[in-house]
Amino acid sequence: MRHLLNPLDFTVEEIDELLALAGEIEKDPSRFAHVCDGKKLATCFYEPSTRTRLSFESAMLSLGGSVLGFASADSSSAAKGESIADTIRIISCYADICAVRHPKEGAALVASLHSGIPVINAGDGGHQHPTQTLTDLLTIHSLKGRLSDLTIGLCGDLKFGRTVHSLINALVRYPGVRFILISPPELKIPEYIRQDVLRAGHVEFKELGNLDEALPELDILYMTRVQRERFFNEEDYIRLKDCYILTPKKMKLAKEDMYILHPLPRVNEISVEVDKDPRAAYFRQAQYGVYIRMALIMKLLEVEKRC
Provide, rounded to whole angstroms, the least separation between the CB of residue 50 and ligand NCD.
8
Taking CB under 6 A as the rule, does residue 126 contact ligand NCD? no
The answer to whether 250 is a known catalytic residue is no
Residue of the chain from 87, 163, 166, 169 that contacts ligand NCD (CB under 6 A) = 163
The answer to whether 279 is a known catalytic residue is no
| Cβ distance to ligand NCD smaller for residue 35 or 281 | 281
| Cβ distance to ligand NCD smaller for residue 181 or 264 | 264
Residue of the chain from 155, 197, 264, 298 that contacts ligand NCD (CB under 6 A) = 264
Residue of the chain from 225, 244, 270, 303 that contacts ligand NCD (CB under 6 A) = 225
**Which stretch, 64-72, 139-147, 257-265, 274-282, contacts ligand NCD (CB under 6 A)?**
257-265
**Alpha-carbon gap, residue 248 to 298, rounded angstroms:** 40
The answer to whether 141 is a known catalytic residue is no
**Which stretch, 74-82, 200-208, 250-258, 259-267, contacts ligand NCD (CB under 6 A)?**
259-267
Neighbours of 297 (CB within 10 A): 26
Decide: helix, strand or coil at residue 268.
coil
For strand 66-70 and strand 40-45, is the pairing parallel, antiparallel, or unpaired? parallel
Selected catalytic residue, list 101, 127, 159, 293: 101
**Alpha-carbon gap, residue 267 to 67, rounded angstroms:** 29
39 conformational bin, left if phi > 0, alpha if psi -120 to 50, beta if neither: beta
Closest residue by Cα to residue 217 from 153, 146, 147, 282: 153
Closest residue by Cα to residue 99 from 47, 140, 37: 47
**Which stretch, 86-94, 107-115, 234-242, 261-269, contacts ligand NCD (CB under 6 A)?**
261-269
Residue of the chain from 51, 104, 241, 279 that contacts ligand NCD (CB under 6 A) = 51
What b-and-e string marks burial along 249-278, b requiring 16 or more CB atoms within 10 Å of the CB?
ebbeebeeebbbbbbbebeebbeeebeeee
**Alpha-carbon gap, residue 262 to 285, rounded angstroms:** 8
Selected catalytic residue, list 40, 129, 162, 225: 129
Contact 218, 154 (CB under 8 A): no
For the chain, what's the residue count? Answer: 307
Size of the site for ligand NCD (CB under 6 A): 12
Taking CB under 6 A as the rule, does residue 162 contact ligand NCD? yes
| Cβ distance to ligand NCD smaller for residue 122 or 303 | 122
Closest residue by Cα to residue 245 from 197, 212, 294: 212
The answer to whether 80 is a known catalytic residue is yes
The answer to whether 101 is a known catalytic residue is yes
Selected catalytic residue, list 2, 51, 178, 266: 51
- Positions that interact with ligand NCD (CB under 6 A): 51-52, 123, 129, 132, 162-163, 224-225, 263-265
Catalytic sites, residue numbers: 51-52, 80, 101, 129
